[in-house]
Amino acid sequence: MSYIAPVKDMLFAIEHLARIDQIARMPGFEEAGLDTAAAVLQECARFNEGVLAPLNAEGDVRPSSWKDGAVTTTPGFKEAYRQFIEGGWQGVQHPAEFGGQDLPKTIGAACVEILNAANLSFALAPLLTDGAIEALLTAGSDELKAVYLEKLVSGQWTGTMNLTEPQAGSDLALVRTRAEPQGDGSYKVFGTKIFITYGEHDMAENIVHLVLARVPGAPEGVKGISLFVVPKFLVNADGGLGARNDVHCVSIEHKLGIKASPTAVLQYGDGTAASIADSAGPGAVGYLVGEENRGLEYMFIMMNAARYAVGMQGIAVAERAYQRAVAYARERVQSRPVDGSLAGSAPIIHHPDVRRMLMTMRALTEGCRAMATVAAAAYDTAHRHPDAQTRKDNQTFYEFLVPLVKGYSTEMSQEVTSLGVQVHGGMGFIEETGAAQHLRDARILTIYEGTTAIQANDLVGRKTMRDGGTVARALAGRIEQTEAQLRASGSAAALAMAARLASARAAYLEVVGYITALDARQHINAVFAGSVPYLMLAGNLVAGWQMARALLVAQERAGQEEDAAFMQAKITTAQFYAEHILTRAPALRDAIVHGGESACALALEAF
Amino acid sequence: MSYIAPVKDMLFAIEHLARIDQIARMPGFEEAGLDTAAAVLQECARFNEGVLAPLNAEGDVRPSSWKDGAVTTTPGFKEAYRQFIEGGWQGVQHPAEFGGQDLPKTIGAACVEILNAANLSFALAPLLTDGAIEALLTAGSDELKAVYLEKLVSGQWTGTMNLTEPQAGSDLALVRTRAEPQGDGSYKVFGTKIFITYGEHDMAENIVHLVLARVPGAPEGVKGISLFVVPKFLVNADGGLGARNDVHCVSIEHKLGIKASPTAVLQYGDGTAASIADSAGPGAVGYLVGEENRGLEYMFIMMNAARYAVGMQGIAVAERAYQRAVAYARERVQSRPVDGSLAGSAPIIHHPDVRRMLMTMRALTEGCRAMATVAAAAYDTAHRHPDAQTRKDNQTFYEFLVPLVKGYSTEMSQEVTSLGVQVHGGMGFIEETGAAQHLRDARILTIYEGTTAIQANDLVGRKTMRDGGTVARALAGRIEQTEAQLRASGSAAALAMAARLASARAAYLEVVGYITALDARQHINAVFAGSVPYLMLAGNLVAGWQMARALLVAQERAGQEEDAAFMQAKITTAQFYAEHILTRAPALRDAIVHGGESACALALEAF
């Protein structure tokens, strides 16, 4: 099944929800108006629809494979990657100084969605490279930047993030990989890292690993972790590639999904490789990023970028699943419509439950896209707005939204891809149909770059408890304003939305009150048992709020003939979101506020 | 990971919720009291834990394979099947007249759960044989019964159900397979059937296909469908096997899950098989079951049995996923508990969100098991109670519950198996861990034997609209009585349950009112758009009601020392169900009653 990038929907969100006109007034973004967005997205769509989307199923059938330390990617990936870097797609959001296009995240995020919808497994290579670039831009020395950034921004080299070890998944305090300083300012790295996405592959000539490790004498726990650059091939003074470094891929994982994306176990410093320069001895040569023991801080910068991107992956795979389900529902003929509107068997899109499933898929995807686009605009504003207070407010807003974009969008992608299978009936269970691949691919999204629970801990702890709920409540205040606009508009759809938004907002505020109550620390287990439901409630609400804003815009424009059908669809989808998705909010409130104790009450031995 | 059958939980439901003592008073069930139940389940557990559970992962890694029309099952399956039939497990619920044990469904259903939890793919062979037995018992001539039933009840031969054709999935009106009468009372069957579970395999010496087909001149649509027995090998007068019949497996499917279970494409009457008796000519020899053109009616009998069994599959796979997740959560050490109860990193079962996930898995599984056990008791009572009115009432109650057992239990199995993956974090995405297999296996359950939407159509149309909601409302009345008992008991858990049950019941009654309103036919699409949410609400409510009954029993018995911990766990799990699962009900009501129009409002071309 072909994929068609929803460029019109994206541009609607970019224009009306993210207000690209305001972003284009900020220094450095003067060229990045709606016209640029449209041109970039159309070109991005053309490339991804044509080159990467057709390779998606192939990657599932012929995954990347490992032999003797080398990884061969799915047939076609290498050539597609060449075209990807030729098109300059790696550099979309990166500084012009290093060869990038320096476009706002508001536009770049849509490119990320298109890339991931076309081919989630492929897109992980650029996603990780983005993270490495981010870390080096933030904390790398001028020397490191000079050696690595241009090659990464062009995509000539790819990047990886090396956090996880067998005993250290979410808990980085347990990291054991060690880095020993050498006389020359470099380090030798020793240890095993697992779950390293594109940790080894054949698409680029070098791989730049960003690795968490401990230096001798470092403090215990997360305060003793440093960040290192460890290239697969050492880089000569002239920028050319030198000796093979002592980091090796000892295996790749056999996974439920994203099978084309190699998930590597990397061994640092086992010294067994014949290719090591004789004089070098064992140990992978690494270079400190920033200062010792501040690695976690830098890694969080990468992770925040990556978390947002994983949220986009959720939206992307949901969109792809939705398109596939719609195509099947138009084509598959079964049973007469219950309303008697057709005499014989009809395409299943005529059946109310299929409509409900497709609308659920559509509304969830659109709502999360709207939320993510607005978050991207906040990011851009936080980085480029001339006014310091505006920057600060937007940074705070963005940081509040990141766990929602990551957590809620990826959780919704489970629901959407599963509905995608269901729409197909028995054919959905047959692998050749393709619907099941999206479900399998999506299943990692609520796990990597921090599980939903990790996102929810962030939301409860750092983003809500720490400031006593100030930011959380301010958000509710903005939503209340939208409700007033909806009521003023007076249409049936707007009034339905206003009512559901108000009820979801009330539920949300009650939860914020519960989490930030003075006695919350007294029943902290109960509070954290509600963390994921709180994230789901907040994500639902914020996405619904953006659907409400879209509804208001669409109502104004529905009179303009050329876009009438498009705008009417926005209104209908928003109303569906209000009546079928926002309505879930009070149930979450009840579970959080009243169910915290029962969630933790069962005796351990009774499980 | 090993599987331990939850025999104690099952016996609790059988004793206290299904009231096996009352069933054992009915004619023919005099031996089937609690002691028998305990003995049978313990033996069943021993066999399945030891023989079939260890083959479950093997079946996923080495699926059944097809070559030249023959299917080779997973290594070990053939021998395990031999042991299965030697143990007499196929005959548990079937008449003693044909060699069965004639046990009540109340006990047999628990055996079905254990078998499916041990090995879902394996269990499908007996499940389909059960269906074939049911059809022959109901509608088969004495001659057909004499030839086939004993062999099927012993498990020496297996059975299949042949409904689906490429153009006819849920819509049996589209069936095209034809059956031509021969002079001798037999028929020749021609056509292609797809999705035939265990349509070909090597575990039994013969396969008895039950096939829907049209006789010449039959009416169009579902009123022109007849049911035939078509054996793989013809049966000689002495009961021995004769010539190979002209039905052949042309391929098996490559599926998302239940990979060891061969899903066959069967070709009837292509006449190409060398093994056909020379004189026979093309066409698969078949024998009419019952009367011509009444096939759908008979098939519904099989399907109702099969639908209940698929509901048990949902409960079974959920239980297995739960056990695996608990084991991992006890063992995997990550991060300090948020309440500071342990100084260092702790097993993740100490983290509140992991507890919430495990409790959700546990409560959903236990709730659905309770509902299914009570449904089984209604079935037994409907068949064996001496009083005609009691039989009738129980039949009505059972028929109302079947779509809930099938629809709600299988939908909940999606949530539970997905949570099972989530509890494992990154390891959950690695196939060798085993958590992902349960998710993949479970994904067919909401589809086969009628999708959730088909169950929901049945619930809305035949079970609710047809009698104006009488049965649906009577059920609510019984729930109200349980609420009164809960309030009378006065404990905190009972009061919490009473409140949530009352609120869910009110939501349910509002929906029943909406569906049965006089003007419902005027907005029939909107009503049916709410069909699946209604099924989910009703299933949630009925399972919650049974959890409430369990809570009342457990409170009475919590004082008895030997069972205090077990009973306390029942109370805690019930309270969790009330506060985290029953709380979902009002959201469904809102979506159904207010969201019907928006579900169907989007213009077809706007998708």
d(CA A479, CA A497): 12
| pLDDT at B272 (0 to 100) | 63
Tell whether the model's pLDDT for residue A274 goes beyond 50.
no
- List b or e across B116-135, with b for residues whose CB sees 16 or more CB atoms inside 10 angstroms: bbbbbbbbbbbbbbbbbbbb
Could you tell me if residue A541 is inside a domain? yes
Would an 8 Å CB–CB cutoff place A180 in contact with chain B?
Answer: no
Give the residue on A whose Cα is nearest the Cα of B455: A353
Tell whether the model's pLDDT for residue B251 goes beyond 70.
yes
Question: Cβ–Cβ of A355/B436 closer than 8 Å?
Answer: no
d(CA B399, CA B387): 18
Sole residue written with tokens 């003007």: B519
Give B206-224 pLDDT, tens digit per residue.
999 999 999 999 999 999 9
Mean predicted confidence (pLDDT) in B20-40: 97
Give the residue on A whose Cα is nearest the Cα of B594: A579
* Residues in chain A within 8 Å Cβ distance of B600: 352, 355-356
d(CA B394, CA A229): 71
Which secondary-structure segment (H or E) carries B264?
strand B263-268
In this prediction, does ipTM exceed 0.90? yes
**Shortest Cα distance, chain A CAs vs residue B87, angstroms:** 31
Could you tell me if residue B519 is inside a domain? yes
Sole residue written with tokens 């036919």: B521
User: In which domain, by residue range, is B594 found?
Assistant: 452-600
Mean predicted confidence (pLDDT) in B466-492: 98
Please check whether residue B444 is in contact with residue B256, taking contact to mean a CB–CB distance below 8 angstroms: yes
Least CB-CB distance to A529: which of B173, B356, B585? B356
Torsions phi, psi of A193, nearest 5? -115, 140
Would an 8 Å CB–CB cutoff place A351 in contact with chain B?
Answer: yes
Band (pLDDT 50/70/90 cuts) for residue B136 is very high
Top residue of B61, B163, B194, B256 to mutate, by most chain A CBs within 10 Å, is: B256
Torsions phi, psi of B240, nearest 5? -75, 170
**Shortest Cα distance, chain A CAs vs residue B352, angstroms:** 5
Helices (H), ranges, B100-185: 105-118, 120-139, 142-154
Band (pLDDT 50/70/90 cuts) for residue B95 is very high
Would an 8 Å CB–CB cutoff place A439 in contact with chain B?
Answer: yes
Least CB-CB distance to B587: which of A446, A583, A605? A583
Please give the structure tokens belonging to residue B205. Answer: 């010496």
Band (pLDDT 50/70/90 cuts) for residue A272 is low
Mean predicted confidence (pLDDT) in A58-87: 98
Top residue of B579, B581, B588, B597 to mutate, by most chain A CBs within 10 Å, is: B579
Would an 8 Å CB–CB cutoff place B598 in contact with chain A?
Answer: yes
Q: If contacts are CB pairs under 8 Å, which of residues 515-534 in chain B contact chain A?
A: 524-529, 531-533
Band (pLDDT 50/70/90 cuts) for residue A303 is confident
**Of B226, B163, B137, B254, whose CA–CA distance to B454 is shortest?**
B163
**Of A589, A227, A300, A587, whose CA–CA distance to A458 is shortest?**
A300
Distances (CA, A) of A385 to A29, A95, A110, A583: 10, 17, 21, 36
Question: Cβ–Cβ of A254/B333 closer than 8 Å?
Answer: no
Would an 8 Å CB–CB cutoff place B452 in contact with chain A?
Answer: yes
Let me know the angle formed at the C-alpha of B330 by B326 and B334, rounded to the nearest 5 degrees.
120
Mean predicted confidence (pLDDT) in B443-457: 97
Please check whether residue B416 is in contact with residue B321, taking contact to mean a CB–CB distance below 8 angstroms: yes
| pLDDT at B281 (0 to 100) | 79
Could you tell me if residue A119 is inside a domain? no
Top residue of B452, B602, B604, B605 to mutate, by most chain A CBs within 10 Å, is: B602
Could you tell me if residue A550 is inside a domain? yes
Question: In this structure, are strands A206-213 and A157-162 parallel, antiparallel, or unpaired?
Answer: parallel
Could you tell me if residue A493 is inside a domain? yes
d(CA B234, CA B211): 15
Give A262-271 pLDDT, tens digit per residue.
999 999 998 6
pLDDT higher at B522 or B559: B522
| pLDDT at B214 (0 to 100) | 98
- The domain total for chain A is 1
Please check whether residue B92 is in contact with residue B109, taking contact to mean a CB–CB distance below 8 angstroms: no
Least CB-CB distance to B591: which of A527, A579, A607? A579
Give A192-249 pLDDT, tens digit per residue.
999 999 999 999 999 999 999 999 999 999 999 999 999 999 999 999 999 999 999 9
Please give the structure tokens belonging to residue A294. Answer: 């501040």
* Residues in chain B within 8 Å Cβ distance of A169: 334, 425-426
Could you tell me if residue A525 is inside a domain? yes
| pLDDT at A301 (0 to 100) | 82
Output the CA torsion B474→B476→B479→B483 (10° steps): -130
Could you tell me if residue B555 is inside a domain? yes
| pLDDT at B273 (0 to 100) | 54
Question: Cβ–Cβ of A354/B604 closer than 8 Å?
Answer: no
Mean predicted confidence (pLDDT) in A144-166: 97
Question: Cβ–Cβ of B338/A525 closer than 8 Å?
Answer: yes
Sole residue written with tokens 């950034």: A149
d(CA A302, CA A22): 27
d(CA B569, CA B168): 47
Q: If contacts are CB pairs under 8 Å, which of residues 320-349 in chain A contact chain B?
A: 326, 329-330, 333-335, 338-339, 345, 349
Please check whether residue A84 is in contact with residue A155, taking contact to mean a CB–CB distance below 8 angstroms: yes
Tell whether the model's pLDDT for residue B454 goes beyond 50.
yes
Please check whether residue B365 is in contact with residue B319, taking contact to mean a CB–CB distance below 8 angstroms: yes
* Residues in chain A within 8 Å Cβ distance of B578: 598
Sole residue written with tokens 């509070």: A527
Please check whether residue A319 is in contact with residue A325, taking contact to mean a CB–CB distance below 8 angstroms: no
Amino acid residing at A574: A
Question: Cβ–Cβ of B436/A603 closer than 8 Å?
Answer: no
Give the residue on B whose Cα is nearest the Cα of A327: B607
For CA atoms B55, B57, B58, B63, the dihedral sign is positive
Give B533-555 pLDDT, tens digit per residue.
999 999 999 999 999 999 999 99
Sole residue written with tokens 């949901």: A318
Would an 8 Å CB–CB cutoff place A443 in contact with chain B?
Answer: yes
Residue A296 CB contacts under 8 Å (≥ 6 apart), including other chains: A172, A212, A222, A223, A225
Please give the structure tokens belonging to residue A93. Answer: 């959001």
Could you list the active site residues of A? 449
**Shortest Cα distance, chain B CAs vs residue A590, angstroms:** 7
Question: Cβ–Cβ of A605/B565 closer than 8 Å?
Answer: yes
Tell whether the model's pLDDT for residue A484 goes beyond 90.
yes
Question: Cβ–Cβ of A356/B599 closer than 8 Å?
Answer: yes
Give B385-410 pLDDT, tens digit per residue.
999 999 999 999 999 999 999 999 99
One DSSP character per residue, B336-397 reads: --TT--SSS--BGGGSHHHHHHHHHHHHHHHHHHHHHHHHHHHHHHHHH-S-HHHHHHHHHH
Give the residues across from B289 on adjacent strands: B227
Q: How many CB pairs under 8 A join A and B?
A: 276
Question: Cβ–Cβ of A345/B171 closer than 8 Å?
Answer: yes
The mean pLDDT value of chain B amounts to 96
**Of B85, B79, B81, whose CA–CA distance to B99 is shortest?**
B85
Would an 8 Å CB–CB cutoff place A580 in contact with chain B?
Answer: yes
Tell whether the model's pLDDT for residue A383 goes beyond 90.
yes
Tell whether the model's pLDDT for residue B278 goes beyond 60.
no
Band (pLDDT 50/70/90 cuts) for residue A558 is confident
Could you tell me if residue A532 is inside a domain? yes
Q: If contacts are CB pairs under 8 Å, which of residues 398-437 in chain A contact chain B?
A: 414, 418, 421-422, 425-426, 428-432, 436
Question: Cβ–Cβ of B334/A169 closer than 8 Å?
Answer: yes
Question: In 3-state terms, what secondary structure has residue B231?
Answer: strand
d(CA A186, CA B102): 77
Give B352-369 pLDDT, tens digit per residue.
999 999 999 999 999 999
Give B176-211 pLDDT, tens digit per residue.
999 999 999 999 999 999 999 999 999 999 999 999
- List b or e across A208-245, with b for residues whose CB sees 16 or more CB atoms inside 10 angstroms: bbbbbbbbeebeeebebbbbbbbbbbbbeeeeeeebbb
| pLDDT at A169 (0 to 100) | 85
d(CA B4, CA A79): 50
Could you list the active site residues of B? 449
Question: Cβ–Cβ of B524/A339 closer than 8 Å?
Answer: yes
Residue B367 CB contacts under 8 Å (≥ 6 apart), including other chains: B412, B543, B544, B546, B547, B577, B581
The mean pLDDT value of chain A amounts to 96
| pLDDT at A477 (0 to 100) | 98
Output the CA torsion A525→A530→A532→A536 (10° steps): -170
